Structure 1
Amino acid sequence: MTTDTLEAPKTETGKGLAIIADLTPEIFTPEKAAEIVADVRREVLAIDRDVSTKKGRDAIASMAAKIARSKTAADAFGKQLKADYKVKVDAIDGIRRIFWDGLEALQKEFRAPLTEFEEAEKARVSRHESALADIARLTVLDGVPTTDAIADRLTVAQAVDTSTFQEFTARAEAAKAEAVGKLAMMLEAAHQRDAERAELERLRQEAAEREAQAAREKAEQEQREREERAAEQARQEAERAAAAERTRVEQEARQIQEKAEREKAEAEERAAQAERDRLDADRRAKEAEERAQQRAEEAARQERQRIEGERKAEEEARSRREADRTHRATVNNAAVAALTAAGLSYGDAKTAITAIAKGDVPRVSIAY
Structure 2
Amino acid sequence: MDVTKTETATALVALVEANPTLVLIDDKKFEDFYEHVKAEAKALPVDLSTEKGRKAIKSMAHKIARTKTAIDEAGKKLNAEARAKIDAVDESRRKIRERFDALKDEVRAPLTEWEEAEEERLAKVERFFNRMDACSKVALDDTAESVKYRHESLSLITVELEVFHSRHTEAVQALDRTLSVLRDAYDRLTREEEERTELARLRAEKEERERQEAERKAAEERAEIERRVAEERKAREEAEAKRQEEERAKIAQEAEEKAKREAAEKLEAERKEMQAKLEDMQRRAREEEEARHNAEVARKQAEERAEREKQEAAEREKEHARLSEEFAKERERKAAEAERQRIEREKAEQERVEREQREADAKRQADREHRGKVMGAAKAAIIEIGIPEDLAKDIVLAIAAGNVPHVSIQF
Q: Give the alignment partner of residue 251 of structure 2, picking from 248, 253, 256.
A: 248
Structure 1 position 81 matched with structure 2 position 99 = no
Q: Give the alignment partner of residue 191 of structure 1, picking from 190, 194, 206.
A: 194
Task: Tell me which residue corresponds to 1:5.
Answer: none
Q: Give the alignment partner of residue 144 of structure 2, picking from 142, 148, 151.
A: 151
Provide the rounded CA distance (Å) in 2 between the counterparts of 1:293 and 1:59: 151
Q: Once the two structures are aligned, what percentage of the paired residues are identical?
A: 21
Question: Residues 241 and 26 of structure 1: is their aligned pair in 2 closer, same or farther, counting only changes over 3 Å?
Answer: same
Aligned-residue offset at 1:254: 1.1
Task: Tell me which residue corresponds to 1:213.
Answer: 216
Q: Give the alignment partner of residue 338 of structure 1, picking from 354, 359, 384.
A: 354
The two structures have a TM-score, normalised by structure 1, of 0.66
Aligned-residue offset at 1:199: 1.9
- SS of the residue corresponding to residue 164 of structure 1 reads coil
Amino acid at match of 2:101: E
- Do 1:245 and 1:289's aligned partners in 2 also have CA atoms closer than 8 Å? no
- Do 1:238 and 1:293's aligned partners in 2 also have CA atoms closer than 8 Å? no
Task: Tell me which residue corresponds to 2:102.
Answer: 105
Provide the rounded CA distance (Å) in 2 between the counterparts of 1:248 and 1:48: 166
Provide the rounded CA distance (Å) in 2 between the counterparts of 1:210 and 1:64: 117
Question: Residues 329 and 260 of structure 1: is their aligned pair in 2 closer, same or farther, counting only changes over 3 Å?
Answer: same
Q: Give the alignment partner of residue 33 of structure 2, picking from 37, 45, 59.
A: 37
- SS of the residue corresponding to residue 260 of structure 1 reads helix
Task: Tell me which residue corresponds to 1:258.
Answer: 261
Provide the rounded CA distance (Å) in 2 between the counterparts of 1:341 and 1:307: 50
Please identify, of 173-182 and 75-84, the stretch whose mean Cα deviation from structure 2 is larger: 173-182
Gaps spanning 5+ residues in structure 2: where?
272-283, 293-298, 362-411
Task: Tell me which residue corresponds to 1:363.
Answer: none
- SS of the residue corresponding to residue 109 of structure 1 reads helix
Number of residue pairs matched by the alignment = 318
Query: RMSD value over aligned CA atoms?
Result: 4.8
Question: Hey, which of these two has a bigger chunk of helix by percent?
Answer: 2
The two structures have a TM-score, normalised by structure 2, of 0.60
Structure 1 position 21 matched with structure 2 position 20 = no
- Do 1:238 and 1:296's aligned partners in 2 also have CA atoms closer than 8 Å? no
- Per-residue CA deviations over 1:59-85 (Å, capped at 9, x if unaligned) read 999988876665554334323222211
Aligned-residue offset at 1:58: 11
- Do 2:20 and 2:70's aligned partners in 1 also have CA atoms closer than 8 Å? no
Provide the rounded CA distance (Å) in 2 between the counterparts of 1:217 and 1:50: 130
Gaps spanning 5+ residues in structure 1: where?
1-8, 278-282, 346-368
Task: Tell me which residue corresponds to 1:354.
Answer: none
Amino acid at match of 2:144: A
Provide the rounded CA distance (Å) in 2 between the counterparts of 1:157 and 1:29: 77
Task: Tell me which residue corresponds to 1:164.
Answer: 159
Provide the rounded CA distance (Å) in 2 between the counterparts of 1:327 and 1:56: 112
Provide the rounded CA distance (Å) in 2 between the counterparts of 1:207 and 1:106: 90
